[in-house]
Structure 1
Amino acid sequence: MKTKTKALRALKAAFPHTLPVLAGFLFLGIAYGILMKSIGYGAGWTFLMSFLVFAGSMQYVGITLLSAAFNPLYALFITLMVNARHVFYGISMLERLKLSGKFKPYLIFAMCDETFSILCSATPEKEVDDGWFMFFVAFLNRWYWIAGSVLGAFMGDYIKFDTKGLDFALTALFVVIFINQWREQKRHYPAVIGVISSVICLVVFGRNNFIIPSMLLILLVLTFAGKKMKGESL
């Protein structure tokens, strides 16, 4: 009974934080499901891809890989390049994941951009178990994506309009998450550093290659400037 109470309390605390992700993932998932259907993969295959792979942007790339000649080494290389940012997510979440107990393996698997953003900004109340809270944030976000993609696969036979531009929902989603983080955090050094570093790398490396350099620069700046930033506010 105690475990059930902990879980329900954590679910109630986590759900409101995931609502922006629900809106974004439904649109993005539907677009993904429609694209899967367009190359001949129905709801069953779409479900398996979203359930087992769960890699967001890599799943979109996977559509091209599924319709091209089989090349596992190329697929591996592309996957590492597209999802290399998760290495930085793992580094920054090391301390919190140590305290997550039995949920750690699932949190590692289900970590995505949106879940990482929520967990970085949202701290549950004292009476809410943090392990259960993190689990439900990851669990809900994952199933939003799965539900959207399967729905899109079912709708693929009936939707005939041009779906170009639907992926802008992801950009809008990150803007909403960023604004929420800015409002909830007292110190804005990390956000300011992130924006400035990203702009610099965008100018230097171009829009197709700036993500990994940006994360490296952000990591370096935060590592070396971390002590100085403690106790200060911006």
Structure 2
Amino acid sequence: MKYEREIKTAFKISIPVMMGYSVLGFAFGLLLVSFDYPWFYAPIMSLFIYAGALQFVAINFFNVKAGLIDIAIASWFVNLRQSFYGLSLLKRFKKAGKLKPYLIFALTDETYALLTTIKDDEQLKKRWYYFFLCAFNQSYWFIGSTLGAIVGTNIDFDTAGLEFSLTALFVVLCIEQYKNLKNKIPFLIGAFTSIIAFILVPTDKMLITSIILSLIVLFLFRARLENNE
């Protein structure tokens, strides 16, 4: 089979994400239909939006009948962190060719964590390996959300607490990244600035504040960090 090695490797690497995305996607589907929206909204959103946290937020947008400008601004803030992720992957995706638009679209927190944690096999065709990894991850979310919506249409569920599964998954991936780091200082800077942001700013602005603070500190100590490497 063409690209068999890339497919097998991508699937193996994506298994931790499968365990989280299938559960959280299922929870999203349940939550969506619990507000009396048609079940097919779930697969459509998971196919064309594919932004876990934003999809949950979108349900609230629908309920309050938010305007397009309000939705656009909120969406920009929720997903602004992806811009910083993308900058660090420019070199990796440089030779992706026609696959590049999808790789950009399908980049999520968990996919980014896998791409930056797992050491690449030099024998792999990188752009296809990246493509299959992203595609597997999206398929888990798509299947989970679709099944959740279908099941939720026929059976009543209490969805309280299910949304925490994505947070738990990201914590596990973060721990794996920490273990693979030779220089722990950037990780500690991120943790410290997150605590500062949590204390000083409202919760809805914590993420962007901690990212900006981390970038400022990393920039100020860039020379020292490079020397430590």
Same fold per TM (> 0.5)? yes
Contact kept? 2:46, 2:145, Cα under 8 Å: yes
Q: CA deviation at 1:211?
A: 0.3
Query: Once structures 1 and 2 are overlaid, which stretch shifts more, 199-208 or 48-57?
Result: 199-208
1:76-125 deviations in Å (ceiling 9; x for gaps): 11111211111211222222221333321111111111111111112211
Aligned length: 229
Which residue of structure 2 lines up, in the alignment, with residue 46 of structure 1? 42
Unaligned ranges ≥5, structure 2: none
Q: 1:150 to 1:75 in 2, by over 3 A?
A: same
Distance 1:206 1:70, change over 3 A: closer
Shift of 1:231: 4.8
| Structure 1 residues 177 and 41, CA gap change in structure 2 (3 angstroms) | same
Q: 2:54 aligns with which of 35, 39, 58?
A: 58
Task: Note the aligned Cα RMSD (angstroms).
Answer: 1.8
**Is 1:153 equivalent to 2:187 in the alignment?**
no
Write the letter of the residue equivalent to 2:208.
I
1:12-27 equivalence runs, <5 A: 12-27=8-23
Structure 1 contact 28–148 (Cα < 8 Å) conserved: yes
* Contact 1:42/1:154, CA 8 A, preserved across alignment: no
Which residue is equivalent to 1:189? 185
Q: Does 1:33 align with 2:29?
A: yes
Contact 2:10/2:132 (<8 A) preserved: yes
Take 2:223 and 2:142, find their aligned partners in 1: how far apart are those partners? Answer: 41
1:207 partner amino acid: T
Cα distance, 1:150 vs. partner? Answer: 0.2
- The equivalent of 2:73 in structure 1 is 77
Using the size of structure 1 for normalisation, the TM-score is 0.90
In the TM superposition, residue 27 of structure 1 has moved relative to its aligned partner by: 1.3
Tell me by how many angstroms 1:54 deviates: 0.8
- CA distance, structure 2, for counterparts of residue 227 and residue 121 of structure 1: 23
AA aligned opposite 1:174: F
In structure 1, what is the Cα distance between the partners aligned to 2:156 and 2:87? Answer: 44
Alignment gaps of 5+ in structure 1: none
